[in-house]
Structure 1
Amino acid sequence: MTALTLSGCSTEEVLRFGWPKGITPQADQMMDLWTGSVIAALAVGVFVWGLIFWAVIRYRKKSDELPTQTRFNLPIEILYTAVPFLIIAVLFYYTAIVQTFVDKQKANPDVTVSVVAFKWNWQFLYPEELDADRQPIGTIGSTEQIPVLVVPTGERIRFVETSNDVIHSFWVPALLFKRDVIPGRTNSFEATINKGEEGAYVGRCAELCGTYHANMNFELRAVTSEKFDQFIAAKKSGASTYDALQSIGESPTATTTHPFKTKRDARTPS
């Protein structure tokens, strides 16, 4: 109790065994798997510690007389061989269930986002939402401003990832999930941000992709479905991402992400 008090952890954090709080059903499933695994590990640990202490006390040396020598104990050997396999099988079963749930993709997601990674920034497009020129609307990061990816809560979102150069990794810590963005290959995953979790969330590249990897940041802005529709309408009318955010009552973020400019990443955000 003293250790828990001094650690400054809340009761909720202790019950999660240190697992961060996520904002999606997928994160909730992973938290349940983590919690169950830790409880199983603690149960095995307590059992093993009990056996060790019991053996130390029960079979401690009492005299110089040589104890009875036993060559083998078949029931015990079968038990300590079978039980670990049983534990592994149960953990594998629940891991497979959670992994299938996290990786599952529906035929018709509510929103599709195209994630394009490049050295050293991001471009986010909505391929199903076209402007007056019949081009997908979106946003791209620059040397002055980080890109903001606006998504709705309570709707199934598919993230389709591509890379223009090297391997990057799309990571929003609050999603408790990341997936590599590999050149020449299209990766994707889906997530639903829980209603009531509206807000701004940090996004990063989680793969060492070069000199300015640490500056490859973005922001995930979760808004209600109504605000998302208004945001899309503003973007279609030609508004910039930051103006569109202001039009729906969201304070845009303006953060310098790079200490330099190149021909490739010095573009003005759209």
Structure 2
Amino acid sequence: MRTRRSRWIAAPLAVVVALALAGCTQAQLQGYMPSESGLTNHVDRIMGLWTTSWIVLLGVGLITWGLMIWAGIAYRRRRGQSGLPVQLRYHMPFEIFFTIVPVILIAGFFAFTARDQAAIEEPIEDPDYSLTVYGKRWAWDFVYEREGQDPVYFQGLQAQVDPESNQIDAESLPTLYLPTDSSIEITLEARDVAHSFWIVEYLYKKDMLPGLTNHMYFETGSQEGTLTGKCAELCGEYHSQMLFDVELVSPEEYDAYLETLEAAGNVGAIDASINPFTGDDNVDTEADEAFDTTNEGENDR
């Protein structure tokens, strides 16, 4: 009898859940995350962890709220009653239940998060492309490695604000080029203080710390287009203007862009020599001189 009753309860519940999920939009199914499926080999994994976690937590919340409302109604004071209700001090089954269930939930969240993070952080032994990103107050430098040739680079300035509209001038943003359908390794360095490299649509960010080299590994999908990048670590007065664009282009267009950098004379390696923590306070670069000139009277580097 109890088994039959459980089936009558479970079957309609399963139908309701299936219909609810079937009516969800793609944005809802991916937890309203600002990305698209297949953008990298990690994006779907991250969206799956996020959405599943919210479903589990919402279920726990509904059960908890339901029990609270039920207890408030079932054990409310009736007309004619007076005094205190029967006081219960201990109920071991409930105590054990309320201890074990949270432990299981926390352990489950930890296990799935650790599994996905380990997969995301797994190095790519032989990436198709390698590049280095330098964070600096308050802009970015990009160094593109080339097989059998000297690297080429782009040195950017912080985003400029239009004094009339008080809006960011999109044309002033540094642009990082990435090839589609490729495995990529990005080496992350900080020139001065702690920064954080964040391509918003990739749903993952990585710290950039002075004196410490970090890496990001991922495989891009076939989608081309423009993505949003920013610093995700409060790094000073103009942190909000430490922005950049990401252009996803075909490998052919990527190689063509590197050729334009070479034609402009941006050839050779650059390093973190302007990092104030290296002990050499007299080293500067053309990009920093241009930055100082642009922001003269505003910033003290």
Give how far 1:193 is off: 2.1
**Inter-CA distance 265–66: structure 2 relative to 1 (3 Å threshold):** closer
Say which is worse superposed, 77-86 or 175-184, in terms of deviation.
Answer: 175-184
**2:53 paired residue number:** 37
CA distance in 2 between counterparts of 1:117 and 1:203 reads: 12
Give how far 1:185 is off: 1.1
Letter in 2 for 1:56: G
Structure (1 or 2) with the larger CA radius of gyration: 2
2:179 is aligned with 1:164: no
**1:115 paired residue number:** 133
SS, match of residue 45 in structure 2:
helix
SS, match of residue 25 in structure 1:
coil
User: For 1:8-47, what aligned pairs fall within 5 Å after superposition?
Assistant: 11-22=25-36, 23-47=39-63
8 Å CA contact 2:138, 2:157 repeated in 1: no
Normalized against structure 1, the TM-score is what? 0.77
CA distance in 2 between counterparts of 1:78 and 1:116 reads: 52
8 Å CA contact 2:131, 2:145 repeated in 1: yes
**1:181 paired residue number:** 208
| Percent identity (aligned) | 35
Give how far 1:27 is off: 2.1
Normalized against structure 2, the TM-score is what? 0.70
**Inter-CA distance 215–59: structure 2 relative to 1 (3 Å threshold):** closer
Q: 1:138 aligns with which of 121, 130, 153?
A: 153
Aligned residue-pair number: 235
8 Å CA contact 2:129, 2:145 repeated in 1: no
Letter in 2 for 1:170: F
**Runs of 5+ unmatched residues, structure 2:** 1-23, 159-170, 268-286, 294-301
CA distance in 2 between counterparts of 1:77 and 1:218 reads: 52
Give how far 1:236 is off: 4.5
**Inter-CA distance 209–129: structure 2 relative to 1 (3 Å threshold):** farther
SS, match of residue 21 in structure 1:
coil
Give how far 1:102 is off: 1.7
Give how far 1:32 is off: 0.5
**1:247 paired residue number:** none
Give how far 1:222 is off: 0.6
**Inter-CA distance 44–240: structure 2 relative to 1 (3 Å threshold):** same
Letter in 1 for 2:42: Q
**1:212 paired residue number:** 238
**1:256 paired residue number:** none
SS, match of residue 207 in structure 1:
coil
**2:77 paired residue number:** 61
CA distance in 1 between counterparts of 2:117 and 2:136 reads: 28
Letter in 2 for 1:231: Y
Give how far 1:48 is off: 0.8
Give how far 1:215 is off: 2.6
CA distance in 2 between counterparts of 1:55 and 1:142 reads: 61
8 Å CA contact 1:198, 1:223 repeated in 2: yes
